[in-house]
């Protein structure tokens, strides 16, 4: 039986919140003491966005019925600020954003073991900021294929990455699905890539959030730090869309993350990631397969008055309300979390990602090397 449902949606959004300010001035000069560290020779959920095809179209002004809180106090001071720019949304970046490091997202490894979709370094004018080419691998099986020395792929990929990195100041590895049994292969892959890149290129690695070292952890912070200049701790995704509602990164979550990260990663190499995005959850599930009796029940409950037969198959429609709970991030919440890290002695923060932020957030960061510092 075909089930057709139209739903009118009521939004109940709980948010950490804020106001609007101006933007920071352009980068003047990067700090000293930002050379790559001493290295051994041997790292959805896109919600709340306007789709690209809708940008530029006339939008009717909407007056919000809610208000946001404004951050108070002094701006957060940073030595380094890293930000991610998607190549399909490069227009969302401009040089007034106070970033010392711009991560071009991203080149991918395809099923043939080839590096594809490499962003053009010339596509963005980033001034004196450093440029980093981000490399992603999108599945466990593909990651195993790339990391394992059993296949004739590993060294080919490393050479392709080194070649692609020629126009960039550095490379960042973002392999988020390393299989449990590939820990040694992953670490040795990082070591080999570090060696092939040479000391003149920056090398950074993204790692998931941790409260402690897990048993058989494929992302051992301290070990990975041996081979890279920076480790980017992705301190978000505390709550997922298919779980219970909650912040992408709560204050208590962030405190636990930074406590362990500081123990495992040298201060000079540690970058804590902050999210600009949020998520929503709906309490009503209307999709799925139904027994005849179950279909009759929901049709009766929703006061269906007509059944239409489409080529002999009964079909129905009804309207329903769905309560939606959302947790987002704005300037107030981002600054609130950044101050937790500042109080913990963190001087390097990265933002996922440029274009998702409350524009006023940049007034609340003073970054070394920028004219507003």
- Domain limits at 337? 73-282+329-367
Contacts of 124 (CB under 8 A, 6+ apart): 85, 90, 93, 102, 104, 131
Higher pLDDT, residue 59 or 49? 59
The 10s digit of each residue's pLDDT in 83-94 is 999 999 999 999
DSSP 151: S
Q: Nearest CA to 229 among 201, 255, 263?
A: 201
In a domain, 237, yes or no: yes
172: domain CATH number?
A: 3.20.20.80
In a domain, 316, yes or no: no
pLDDT of residue 138 exceeding 60, the answer is yes
Most confident option among 25-34, 309-318, 346-355: 346-355
Helix, strand, coil share of the chain (percent; to 5): 30, 25, 50
Lowest mean pLDDT segment, chosen from 31-45, 174-188, 321-335: 31-45
Q: What confidence score (pLDDT) does residue 47 get?
A: 44
Q: What confidence score (pLDDT) does residue 58 get?
A: 63
| Number of separate helices (H) and strands (E) present in the chain | 7, 16
Active site residue 310: no
In a domain, 52, yes or no: no
Q: What confidence score (pLDDT) does residue 55 get?
A: 57
Pair 258, 249: CB distance under 8 Å: no
Binning pLDDT at 50, 70 and 90, where does residue 285 land?
Answer: low
Percent pLDDT > 70 in the chain is 83
In a domain, 7, yes or no: no
The 10s digit of each residue's pLDDT in 111-129 is 999 999 999 999 999 999 9
**Mean confidence (pLDDT) of the chain:** 85
The 10s digit of each residue's pLDDT in 267-276 is 999 999 999 9
pLDDT of residue 98 exceeding 90, the answer is yes
Residue showing tokens 């711009």? 102
Point out the catalytic residue in the list 108, 138, 176, 342: 176
Residue showing tokens 């995704």? 237
Q: What whole-number distance in Å separates Cα of residue 118 and Cα of residue 106?
A: 7
Rg (CA), the chain: 24
In a domain, 289, yes or no: no
Binning pLDDT at 50, 70 and 90, where does residue 298 land?
Answer: confident
Q: What confidence score (pLDDT) does residue 10 get?
A: 35
Which pair of structure tokens corresponds to residue 162?
A: 């080194």
Domain count, the chain: 1
Q: What whole-number distance in Å separates Cα of residue 31 and Cα of residue 10?
A: 49
Q: Nearest CA to 191 among 321, 40, 300, 82?
A: 40
pLDDT of residue 42 exceeding 80, the answer is no
In a domain, 290, yes or no: no
In a domain, 372, yes or no: no
In a domain, 8, yes or no: no
């Amino acid at each position: 039986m075909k089930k057709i449902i139209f739903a009118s949606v009521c939004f109940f959004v709980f948010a950490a919140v804020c106001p609007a300010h101006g933007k920071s001035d352009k980068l003047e000069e990067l700090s000293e003491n930002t050379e790559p560290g001493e290295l051994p020779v041997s790292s959805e959920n896109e919600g709340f966005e306007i789709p690209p095809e809708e940008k530029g179209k006339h939008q009717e002004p909407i007056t919000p019925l809610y208000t946001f809180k404004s951050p108070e106090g002094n701006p957060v001071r940073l030595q380094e600020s890293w930000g991610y720019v998607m190549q399909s949304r490069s227009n969302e970046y401009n040089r007034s954003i106070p970033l010392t490091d711009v991560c071009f997202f991203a080149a991918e490894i395809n099923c043939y073991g080839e590096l594809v979709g490499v962003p053009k370094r010339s596509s963005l004018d980033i001034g004196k900021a450093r440029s980093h080419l981000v490399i992603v691998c999108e599945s466990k099986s593909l990651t195993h294929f790339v990391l394992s020395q059993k296949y004739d792929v590993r060294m080919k990929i490393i050479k392709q990455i080194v070649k692609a990195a020629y126009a960039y100041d550095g490379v960042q590895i973002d392999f988020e699905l390393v299989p449990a049994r590939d820990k040694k292969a992953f670490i040795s892959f990082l070591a080999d890539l570090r060696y092939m890149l040479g000391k003149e290129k920056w090398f950074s690695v993204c790692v998931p959030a941790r409260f402690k070292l897990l048993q058989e952890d494929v992302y051992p912070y301290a070990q990975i730090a041996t081979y890279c200049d920076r480790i980017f701790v992705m301190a978000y995704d505390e709550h997922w869309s298919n779980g219970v509602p909650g912040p992408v990164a709560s204050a208590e979550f962030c405190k636990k993350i930074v406590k362990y990260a500081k123990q495992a990663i040298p201060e000079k190499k540690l970058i804590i990631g902050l999210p600009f995005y949020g998520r929503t959850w709906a309490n009503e599930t209307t999709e799925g397969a139904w027994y005849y009796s179950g279909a009759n029940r929901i049709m009766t409950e929703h006061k269906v008055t007509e059944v239409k037969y489409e080529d002999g198959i009964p079909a129905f429609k009804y309207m329903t309300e769905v309560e939606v709970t959302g947790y987002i991030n704005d300037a107030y919440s981002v600054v609130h979390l950044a101050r937790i890290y500042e109080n913990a002695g963190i001087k390097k923060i990265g933002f996922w990602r440029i274009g998702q932020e409350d524009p006023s957030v940049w007034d609340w960061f003073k970054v070394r090397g920028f004219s507003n510092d």
